Structure 1
Amino acid sequence: MSKQHVHGSHPDIVKRLKRAEGHLQRVIAMFAEGRPCLDLAQQLHAVEKAISEAKKTLIHDHVDNCLDDAATGGPGKSARNVLAEFKAISRYL
């Protein structure tokens, strides 16, 4: 079983994602209402931006906390492991 992994930023990220989820549900309703494509595209862009910002916050928090701690002598990770993990997570930026 996996160890629980929680950062101080996670509650804020969850709030952002829940707002994006609500926004997405409203956009889906806009489709059902037959709203103009420009309105739909603008609202979908807003949802996409909200999710992207949540992802960026998560990745930056991981780099600032997990990788920084490991790189400065934290337990259990070699410099090679830290670098590999940084390369892996940076692909999602």
Structure 2
Amino acid sequence: MSDTHAHAGHPALIARLKRADGHLRSVIVMLEAGKPCLEVAQQLLAVEKAVANAKRVLIHDHMDHCLDVEGSETDRAELKAIARYL
């Protein structure tokens, strides 16, 4: 039995996270090269925002596609659980 849980929006989310990964890797290179802290901080902010946006997209996608509109007890509990990550 497979335990996969994929949505139609996951490929776009993966692409978004790969871009964030590339930005994070560039931050490491910048630090290793001794780039100015202001430039590094700006890049880190971009990474932080990219990851936060990816998390928001994932959670909204989950709410749209995985939770029943009627709202069973299980769905309400799951909504409360995932809302902790907002």
Smaller-chain TM-score range? over 0.9
Aligned counterpart, 2:33 = 33
Q: CA RMSD in A?
A: 1.4
- 1:49-68 pair list within 5 angstroms: 49-67=49-67
Shift of 1:71: 3.4
Shift of 1:51: 0.7
Matched, 1:21 2:21: yes
Structure 1 moving runs of 4+ over 2 Å = none
Pick aligned residue for 2:77 from 62, 76, 84: 84
Residues 24-54 of structure 1 show CA distances to partners (whole Å, capped at 9, x for unaligned) of 1111000011111111111001001101111
Normalised to the residue count of structure 2, the TM-score between the two structures is 0.93
Could you tell me the percent identity over the aligned residues? 56
How many residues end up aligned between the 2 structures?
A: 86
Question: 1: CA distance between counterparts of 2:26 and 2:14?
Answer: 18
Shift of 1:4: 1.0
Aligned counterpart, 1:71 = 69
Question: 2: CA distance between counterparts of 1:86 and 1:10?
Answer: 19
Question: 2: CA distance between counterparts of 1:82 and 1:2?
Answer: 22
Residue ranges of structure 1 left out of the alignment (5+ in a row): 73-77
Question: 2: CA distance between counterparts of 1:11 and 1:48?
Answer: 20
Residue ranges of structure 2 left out of the alignment (5+ in a row): none
